[in-house]
Amino acid sequence: MLKVSNTEEIVFTPELITKFNEIVARYPEGKQKSALLPILHLAQAEYGWVSTPVMDKVAEFLDLKPIEVYEVATFYTMFFLKPQGKYVLEVCRTGPCCLVGAEKIMKYIEQKLEVKEGEVTPDGLFSWRGVECLAACGMGPVLQIGPEYTFYENLTEAKVDELIDGLRLKTAEKAQII
Amino acid sequence: MGRKLLLENINVPGINTFDVYRQKGGYRAVEKVLKGMSPEDVVEEVKKSGLRGRGGAGFPTGMKWSFLAKPEGKPRYLVCNGDESEPGTFKDRYLMTYIPHLLIEGMIVSSFALGANTSYIYVRGEMMPQIRILEKAIAEARNAGFLGKNILGSGYDLELYVQPGGGAYICGEETALIESLEGKRGNPRIKPPFPAISGLYNCPTVVNNVESIAATVPIINDGGDEYAKLGIGRSTGTKLISASGNLNKPGVYEIELGVPVEEFIYSDEYCGGIANGKRLKAVVAGGSSVPILPANLILKTLNGENRLMSYESLADGGFASGTMLGSGGFVAFDEDQCIVRNTWNYARFYHHESCGQCSPCREGTGWMEKVLHRLEYGHGKLSDIDLLVDVSKKIEGNTICPLGDAAAWPVASAIRHFRDEFEWHVSRPEEAMDRNYGLAHYADPLPKPEAVAAN
């Protein structure tokens, strides 16, 4: 799982370090380990996933042993331990959403993106996976996209089309500008 | 229309901002406690209100507060549990999204009552938008002098922070939540010691659900006695119900406890009946962990009384014929839903979410998922059904935390009430792949109480 594919030295930007320090200040002296989850979220937002070098660097920053970071990152399902698509579509797969069609939506996403759950599209743009209850059962089926965790509710196939096509278009337009 | 205490102003434009919330009488409870009440007075009002923990366990909040140890020289902590992950439950998301200041106000009142000067709101990591909303609301409250040093000149200091989780259901269990807040894996702790004695950073700690904390605001404003007048019996006050599944109007409803289940499902004030003109087959009334009931048993008790949305009425009959109010996650199943498939889905959830500390839960949840999968996909044996009951019994009560029970109950109850549907999956596997079992007898009127007594 913890494959090292990125061995260059990780350097956190000054902006990131400022944010990290703000978080550490929330806890009593010597309890900086409490900052681990919020900091891993920020690191994942920056790098797209949490590689071993990133975890090692977080450990160094918080004065923890690397294992203390690994054991946490592997426990919480929100942290990606391998590279993902730029947009990760996370669809709720739990009971209440399935009563209103979540399984169909997942199948449709799989067909549309032409990749299996957990795989990345060849253009690097998308990956998708089923996740457990997102606490939005009354608006099901639902999906979220990190790192902002934007939420899409009452999904239909048409809404999935609109979302995926929209993200493709956005990326293509950006590429043209560059 | 039932009385609303938490969602009374939910439709007021801008109620998510400090200014509008304040105009509508917000932060009065903070003024009241800081200017004229002692922490003990606040605890007393909450005790009088009869408020019971809204996260699922239903333990009296005032009593939980009174257990908090107060050793000299040690800080005390209030941690709000916003990990909301119980399938079927989405009321805390709603509250934090649309009326965040109600939670902030409740946190100030409750922190004062407990003597906490630093408090945390632990919100599940997937709710990043809600975390941003709360952080903005905290900044607004601080600018207005309701947080920070010497609040309203009272000499009371409070710092309030929001902590994200990482996507683990188990962190809704209070000691797992504390572990997670300390930056560790969410493994529940062995109790005792209870958090009231040794919780966050080994200091006395209270962990309360979002809705419980919010409810302290109307309790302080109107008094505990007034709050206790609402509801029925020991189910005092109002409760947020998350309604989902095959309903015409799914959503979050604030009910006065004691509303008949039938009215909640069918009246236009609430869910407006079953979607697409279908008939009701089953209900999970309090989040995925509580026993599932067929339509006839959710609407009436075995004694022939109307079942009510209250802690006591939903539990009437024990697990033989009743269920629990739990977190208020109300999931309705129409006649086209497959109980076996749903039970497998829930079992997969609990297997996925087991922290792995206790072997009955770690191994048992996976075993149940596997057996249910083969039943659902037509490879099951008749003996598998009793095997599931056996495994569920061996998990129940044999784990550090209640996740084991929560995993066992949905399976045991589904078999208790829908055994013939499971048997049909074994006897007619090909048919079961093609179509669903349907409504069968699950909505038939219950036998008359005399007939039950005679048996």
Contacts of A135 in chain B (CB under 8 A): 84-85, 89-90, 92-93, 124, 126-127
A contact set with B (CB within 8 A): 26, 28, 31, 33-38, 40-41, 68, 71-72, 75-79, 93-96, 98-100, 131-140, 144, 146-151
- pLDDT recorded at residue A3: 46
Q: What percent of chain A has pLDDT over 70?
A: 95
Confidence of residue B48 (pLDDT cuts 50, 70, 90): very high
Give the C-alpha separation, A83 to A119, whole Å: 10
pLDDT at position A8 over 90:
no
Query: Contact A99/B337, CB-based, under 8 Å?
Result: yes
Phi (first) and psi of residue B255, to 5 degrees: -115, 155
Picking from B125, B184, B250, the nearest residue to A138 by CB comes out as B250
Percent residues over pLDDT 90 in chain A: 89
pLDDT digit string, tens, across residues B313-359: 999 999 999 999 999 999 999 999 999 999 999 999 999 999 999 99
A98 is in an annotated binding site: no
By Cβ distance, the residue of A72, A100, A150 closest to B184 is A72
- Nearest beta carbon to residue B331 from set A95, A132, A151: A95
Phi, psi of B375, rounded to the nearest 5 degrees = -65, -45
A chain contacts of residue B201, beta-carbon cutoff 8 Å: 28, 31
Q: Are the Cβ atoms of B166 and A98 closer than 8 angstroms?
A: no
Query: Domain B339-437 belongs to what topology?
Result: de novo design (two linked rop proteins) (1.20.1440)
Which chain B residues have a beta carbon less than 8 Å from that of A96?
87-88, 244-245, 329, 331
Span A79-99, average pLDDT: 97
Q: How far is the alpha carbon of B3 from chain A, nearest alpha carbon, in Å?
A: 22
∠ CA(B87), CA(B80), CA(B126), 5° rounding?
Answer: 45
pLDDT of residue B341: 97
Q: Hey, what are A84's tokens?
A: 């993902």
In our burial notation (b when 16+ CB lie closer than 10 A, e otherwise), range B437-454 reads bebeebbeebeeeeeeee
CATH code at B18-229: 3.40.50.11540
- A129: β partners: A90
Per-residue pLDDT tens over the stretch A31-74 = 999 999 999 999 999 999 999 999 999 999 999 999 999 999 99
Average model confidence (pLDDT) across chain A: 94
Tokens representing A96 are 């209440």
Which tens digit of pLDDT belongs to each residue from B274-302?
999 999 999 999 999 999 999 999 999 99
Domains in chain B: boundaries: 18-229, 232-334, 339-437
DSSP-assigned beta bridge partners for residue B205: B77
Residues of A in contact with B331 (CB under 8 A): 95-96, 99, 137
B90 and A138 within 8 Å at the Cβ level: the answer is yes
Instruction: Write out chain B residues lying below 8 Å of A138, CB-based.
Output: 90, 242-244, 250-252
Q: Minimal Cα–Cα distance from A31 to chain B, Å?
A: 7
> What pLDDT was estimated at residue B308?
98
pLDDT band (50, 70, 90) for residue B450: low
A141: preceding bond cis by omega (within 30 degrees): yes
pLDDT in tens, B209-223: 999 999 999 999 999
Residues of B in contact with A98 (CB under 8 A): 341-342, 345
User: Which of the residues A61, A137, A143, A148 would you substitute to probe the B interface, choosing the one with the greatest number of B C-beta atoms within 10 Å?
Assistant: A137
Which residue among B185, B242, B345 sits closest to A94, beta carbon to beta carbon?
A: B345
Tell me the pLDDT tens digit for each residue of B175-193: 999 999 999 999 999 999 9
Least CB-CB distance to B125: which of A36, A41, A137? A41
Question: What average pLDDT does chain B have?
Answer: 96
Q: Residue A96 burial (CB < 10 Å; 0-12/13-18/19+)?
A: buried
Segment among A2-16, B242-256, B413-427 with least mean pLDDT: A2-16
Ramachandran quadrant class, B400 (left: phi over 0; alpha: psi -120 to 50; beta: rest): alpha
Nearest CA in chain A to B92: A135
Selection from A23, A1, A7 nearest residue A56 by Cα? A7
Q: Cβ neighbours of residue A27 under 8 Å, at least 6 residues apart?
A: A34, A35
Q: Which of B98, B241, B244 to mutate to test binding with chain A, by most A CBs within 10 Å of its CB?
A: B244
Mean of the pLDDT values across residues B232-238? 97
* Confidence check: pLDDT of B226 > 50: yes
Q: Write down all domains in chain A, each with its CATH number in brackets.
A: 14-75 (1.10.10), 87-177 (3.40.30.10)
Q: In sequence order, what are the beta bridge partners of B163?
A: B122
Contact A135 B90 (CB under 8 A): yes
Helix (H, G, I), strand (E, B) or coil at A150: strand
Identify the H or E element spanning A88: strand A87-92
pLDDT for residue B71 is more than 90: yes
**A28, A76, A136: residue with CB nearest B201:** A28
Tens-digit pLDDT profile for residues B125-149: 999 999 999 999 999 999 999 999 9
Question: What is the nearest CA distance from A93 to chain B, expressed in angstroms?
Answer: 8
Average pLDDT on A87-104 reads 97
Q: Are A72 and B185 an interchain contact pair (Cβ–Cβ within 8 Å)? A: yes
Tell me what ipTM this predicted complex has: 0.94
Please identify which residue in the block is written with the tokens 């093609």: B434
**A5 has pLDDT over 60:** no
Query: Does the pLDDT of residue A2 top 70, yes or no?
Result: no
Percent of chain B with pLDDT over 70: 98
Instruction: Give the chain A residue nearest B249 (alpha carbons).
Output: A138
User: Encoding tokens for residue B78?
Assistant: 């209030």
Using CA of residue B98, residue B100, residue B105, residue B107, what is the dihedral sign? positive
Domain B232-334 carries which CATH code? Answer: 3.10.20.600
B84 CB neighbours in chain A (<8 A) are 135
* A72 Cβ contact list (under 8 Å, min separation 6): A36, A37, A40, B166, B183, B184, B185
Nearest CB to B126; choose among A31, A72, A134: A134
